[in-house]
């Protein structure tokens, strides 16, 4: 299922791969800290980096590192050159989520500057500036602004929605036995591909800008959720409603889709779904 990364200009992609391969020995010496290393993306990213021979520390409250209180942060960052922040807020309530991303970004920036970190990579969301009706996206925007204002060289990686998140989208928009969703386009991607892209980007020089990553195909939000519910034998019906909101935000075909030159993950929704269902069968069989 996993293939190579596609790029609008394949020659550039080839060059990037060769460069990344030839600098592998140098990269192995780059100590990398993954903030949120116990999360969905964090675990996969730690594995991807280890497979590339990188010395990685997975850091999060469950391992004694907290970007809000500062607990364990200086020690975790000691000697680190690269930090990848894939943490997420425990509460998405407007005020709480804003406080989380602002405090975390400020504390990380100060700790990274003190530790001499040369590349801060943060995971954000495609279209953040078009989704500011939502408190969550206002918080992600604030996080991005603080990263840009920090002295530490950075790359902000904006990903589209993860396939793993589609069940949550259905849940959020459910009223009784129906799920009300707009037909607006999105271009979601597999969490595995998000992690691979982050591992690649963490080893590149800082872009001091934004890189977008996305899945290989666009579809309506309603359509993919309908396919997901049917495949998982969920009895809920998806009602297509142009006025329905996505997490409380009015969206159109431009809101969630990337711009002209995203890096495209190789995994198609149908392939991800097949794998997801086979894993589900396995876990059911074992329970």
Ligand X SMILES: NC(=O)c1ccc[n+]([C@@H]2O[C@H](COP(=O)([O-])OP(=O)(O)OC[C@H]3O[C@@H](n4cnc5c(N)ncnc54)[C@H](OP(=O)(O)O)[C@@H]3O)[C@@H](O)[C@H]2O)c1
269 within 8 A of 215, measured Cβ to Cβ: yes
- Non-local CB neighbours of 279 within 8 Å, separated by 6+ positions: none
Q: Is 224 in the site for ligand X (CB under 6 A)?
A: no
CB of 22 to ligand X, least distance (A): 30
CB of 123 to ligand X, least distance (A): 4
Of 282, 177, 271, 174, residue with least CA distance to 231: 271
Nearer to ligand X, 88 or 109 (CB): 88
Nearer to ligand X, 145 or 281 (CB): 145
CA distance 94 to 137: 9
CB of 24 to ligand X, least distance (A): 26
Strand, helix or coil for residue 30: coil
Of 30, 1, 12, residue with least CA distance to 199: 30
Q: Is 156 in the site for ligand X (CB under 6 A)?
A: no
Q: Is 257 in the site for ligand X (CB under 6 A)?
A: no
Binding mask 262-281 for ligand X (x = CB under 6 A): --------------------
Task: Kindly state the number of chain residues that form the binding site for ligand X, as judged by CB under 6 A.
Answer: 24
Among residue numbers 69 through 98, which ones bind ligand X (CB under 6 A)?
A: 86-88, 90
* E strand intervals along the chain: 32-35, 56-59, 82-85, 119-125, 154-159, 174-175, 178-181, 185-186, 209-214, 219-220, 237-240, 263-264
Nearer to ligand X, 40 or 250 (CB): 40
Binding mask 23-62 for ligand X (x = CB under 6 A): ------------xx-xxxxx-----------------xxx
Of 105, 116, 125, residue with least CA distance to 210: 125
Supply 240's token pair.
């297509």
CB of 202 to ligand X, least distance (A): 14
CB of 14 to ligand X, least distance (A): 27
Q: Is 128 in the site for ligand X (CB under 6 A)?
A: no
Of 76, 60, 137, 73, residue with least CA distance to 106: 73
Binding residues vs ligand X (CB under 6 A) = 35-36, 38-42, 60-62, 66-68, 86-88, 90, 123, 125, 140, 159, 161-162, 165
């Amino acid at each position: 299922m996993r293939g190579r990364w596609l790029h609008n200009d394949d020659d550039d992609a080839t060059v990037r791969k060769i460069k990344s391969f030839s600098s592998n020995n140098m990269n192995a010496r780059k100590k990398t800290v993954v903030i949120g290393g116990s999360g969905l993306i964090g675990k996969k990213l730690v594995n991807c980096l280890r497979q590339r021979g990188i010395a990685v520390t997975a850091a999060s409250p469950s391992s004694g590192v907290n970007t809000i209180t500062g607990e364990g942060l200086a020690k975790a960052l000691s000697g680190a050159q690269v930090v990848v922040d894939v943490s997420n807020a425990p509460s998405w309530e407007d005020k709480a989520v804003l406080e989380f991303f602002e405090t975390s970004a400020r504390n990380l920036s100060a700790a990274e500057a003190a530790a001499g970190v040369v590349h801060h990579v943060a995971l954000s969301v495609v279209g953040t500036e078009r989704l500011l009706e939502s408190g969550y996206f206002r918080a992600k925007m604030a996080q991005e602004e603080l990263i840009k204002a920090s002295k530490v060289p950075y790359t902000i990686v904006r990903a589209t929605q993860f396939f793993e998140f589609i069940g949550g989208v259905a849940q959020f928009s459910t009223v009784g036995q129906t799920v009300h969703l707009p037909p607006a386009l999105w271009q979601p991607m597999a969490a595995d591909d998000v992690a691979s892209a982050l591992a690649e980007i963490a080893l590149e020089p800082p872009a001091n800008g934004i890189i977008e990553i996305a899945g290989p195909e666009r579809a309506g939000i309603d359509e993919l959720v309908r396919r997901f519910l049917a495949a998982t034998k969920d009895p809920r019906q998806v009602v297509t409603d142009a006025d329905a909101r996505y997490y409380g935000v009015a969206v159109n075909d431009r809101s969630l889709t990337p711009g002209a030159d995203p890096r495209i993950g190789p995994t198609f929704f149908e392939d991800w779904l097949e794998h997801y269902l086979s894993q589900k069968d396995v876990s059911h069989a074992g329970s």
